[in-house]
Amino acid sequence: MAQSDTVDRILDAAEELFAERGFSETSLRMITGKAGVNLAAVNYHFGSKKSLIQAVFARFLTPFCIALEAAFDRLEAETAPKPPDLESVLRVLTATLVEMPRQHDRSIAIYMRLQGLAYTQSQGHLRRFLEAEYSHTFGRFMRLLKNATPELSAVERYWRNQFMLGATAFTLSSSDALTEILWNKLGVETPNEEIVDQLVPFLAAGMQAHTVAHGNTGNSDSGA
Amino acid sequence: MAQSDTVDRILDAAEELFAERGFSETSLRMITGKAGVNLAAVNYHFGSKKSLIQAVFARFLTPFCIALEAAFDRLEAETAPKPPDLESVLRVLTATLVEMPRQHDRSIAIYMRLQGLAYTQSQGHLRRFLEAEYSHTFGRFMRLLKNATPELSAVERYWRNQFMLGATAFTLSSSDALTEILWNKLGVETPNEEIVDQLVPFLAAGMQAHTVAHGNTGNSDSGA
DNA sequence: AATTGTTTGAAACATACGTTTGAGCCGGAA
DNA sequence: TTCCGGCTCAAACGTATGTTTCAAACAATT
C-alpha cells in the first residue's frame, strides 16, 4: 500500500458514508471498515473525527471555489460593464457544480448532499470552518445576486435569498432519495444535471416575482 | 405530579431538544433531565426512543392535518366547481400553519424544523410512520397543487414541489435566527406572518415559471 | 385497612462510540 | 548491518448511549 494511500481511502469512504448517513450516524469503525484500513489510522492521520469531517469538505470545496471564482471572472468579463443578469449568475453556479467532480468519477449528488448536511446538521465546528475558509467566494456570489436584482428592497432580497438557499440545499441534499421516489412513481429517471435545469428557472422566477404591496422599507440597500 | 403529566413533560422537552439538536444528537438523558422526570420513564411510557420520536410528530401533526383538511374543505366549497388556484392553495396551507400552534405558545419554527429534520435525517422508521399516518392529507394537497398547475408535466411538478417544500422548511425552520440577523443588519423586524407573505408569491412565481424546453416526458399525468 | 395495578426511582446492564497506547513492521540513510 | 522515522496493527481505555431490572411509592378499589 503506497505512501499515503490510506489518507485518500479514508477520505473516499468517509465522503460516501457521511453523504448517505449523516455525520453522527457514521462511526469511525464503519469508515475504516469500508476503507480497509485500521481504526487508529483516522486519529493518526487526521487527529479527530471533527477534523476528518472538515477534511472531507476541504477536498471538494477548495477546488470548487477556485473553479467558481474563475467562472465568475469570465462571466463578469463577458457582460462588462453591465453586471450579469440573475439567470446567468445562477446558471454559472449550477454549471460549475455539475461539472466539478467528473475527475473523481463520483455522483455530484454526494457533494450536494454533503453541502446540504452542512446546513442541516448542527455541527457548529463545521459551520465555523466553512465560514472561515470559504466566506470570500460566498460573499462574491451574494454581491452578484444583489446587482442582478436591483428592483428588490433589501428586505425582500434577504428573504428571497433564503428561499433560494432552502430550495437548493433541501432538494439537492436528498436528490438521490427523491429521484428514486420519482422513479417508483412515474418510471422517470432524473439525472442531477436535469434537476438543476429545473431548479434554475424556478429560482429565477421566484426571485423576480412581483413584489407584494406591503407597508415596509425603502429600496435597495445592503446585500444579504 | 398529576396522572400522565410525565408523558406531556417528556414530549415537551423532546420536541424542543429534537428541534434544536436533531434526533441522534439528543440523548434520553438530556430529555428526561430537561423534563425533570426519571430516565426510565421514557421507555416505560413510550417503549423506545424511536417511538418517542414518532409520538412527538403525532402530537402536532394530527391536529394540524385535521385543521388543514377542514380549511381545504372550505376553500373547495368557495371556488366550486372550479378548482382553487395555486396561490389560494398555498395561502390556505401557510395560514393554517401559522395559526396552528398558538394554543401551545410555541414558535412555529420548532414544528417547521422538526418537519425539516424528518426529511433530512435518515431515520427510516420516521419516514415510514409519517407515510402511513399522514399520506391522506399530503396526497390531497398534492392533488390540489396538480389541479392548480395543469400546464406542468408530472415530472416538473414533482421537482417544483420539492423546491417549494425546501424553501419553506428551510426558511421557517430557522426563522427566528434569520429574523434576528436581518434585524442586526437592517434594523427591520419581520414577524412570521410577513415571512409567509413574502414566501407565497415567491413559491407561486417559481411554480409557474416558464417551462424549460427539455427532451423529456409528455404532459400532465399522475399526481406526485 | 388491605389489596391491586400503575407509575416512579436508583442502579445496573450491555453495547457502541471516539480516542489512546505500545509493540511491531517497513524502507531508506548512515 | 544498524539505526531511525513514519506508519500500521490489535488491543484496550474511558465514556456515553438505549434499555432493563426490581424494589419502593402511589392511587384507587374492595
Using H for helix, E for strand and C for coil, what is the string for chain A? Answer: CCCCHHHHHHHHHHHHHHHHHCCCCCCHHHHHHHHCCCCHHHHHHCCCHHHHHHHHHHHHHHHHHHHHHHHHHHHHHHHCCCCCCHHHHHHHHHHHHHHHHHHHCCCHHHHHHHHHHHHHCCCHHHHHHHHHHHHHHHHHHHHHHHHHCCCCCHHHHHHHHHHHHHHHHHHHHCHHHHHHHHHHHHCCCCCHHHHHHHHHHHHHHHHCCCCCCCCCCCCCCCCC
Predicted confidence at residue B28, as pLDDT, reads 98
Q: Which residues of chain B have pLDDT under 70?
A: 1-4, 101-104, 122, 212-224
**Separation between Cα atoms, residue A215 and residue B98, nearest integer Å:** 20
Give the C-alpha distances (Å, rounded to integers) separating B213 from A13, A29, A122, A187, A201: 38, 47, 39, 20, 11
Strand C lies under 7 A from the Cβ of residue B219: no
Chain A interface test: which of B17, B87, B142, B170 (most A C-beta within 10 Å): B170
Residue pLDDT, tens place only, A57-73 = 999 999 999 999 999 99
Task: Write down the mean pLDDT value for chain A.
Answer: 86
Residue pLDDT, tens place only, A148-194 = 999 999 899 999 998 998 898 888 777 777 788 888 888 888 877 78
CA–C1' gap, A115 and D18, in angstroms: 30
Q: At a CB cut-off of 8 Å and minimum separation 6, what does A219 contact?
A: A153, A154
Q: Does B164 touch chain A (CB under 8 A)?
A: yes
**Separation between Cα atoms, residue B197 and residue B206, nearest integer Å:** 15
Closest-CA distance, A31 to chain B, in angstroms, reads 17
A 131-160 near B (Cβ less than 8 A): 154-156, 158-160
- A50 contact residues in B (CB cutoff 8 A): none
Nearest to A204 by CA among A67, A81, A89, A101: A89
Residue that is written with C-alpha cell 409528455 in the block: B218
Closest partner residue to B22 among A121, A182, A194, by Cβ? A121
Angle at the Cα of A201 from the Cα atoms of A197 and A203, rounded to 5 degrees: 110
Predicted confidence at residue A75, as pLDDT, reads 97
**Separation between Cα atoms, residue B209 and residue B164, nearest integer Å:** 13
Q: Does A16 touch chain B (CB under 8 A)?
A: no
Return the percentage of chain A with pLDDT > 70, whole number: 90
**Separation between Cα atoms, residue B112 and residue B142, nearest integer Å:** 19
**Separation between Cα atoms, residue A190 and residue A82, nearest integer Å:** 35
How large is the average pLDDT for residues A104-128?
80
Out of A24-28, A54-58, A100-104, B129-133, least confident range: A100-104
**Separation between Cα atoms, residue B45 and residue B41, nearest integer Å:** 6
Q: A162 and B171: CB-CB below 8 Å?
A: yes
Strand C lies under 7 A from the Cβ of residue B4: yes
Predicted confidence at residue A170, as pLDDT, reads 80
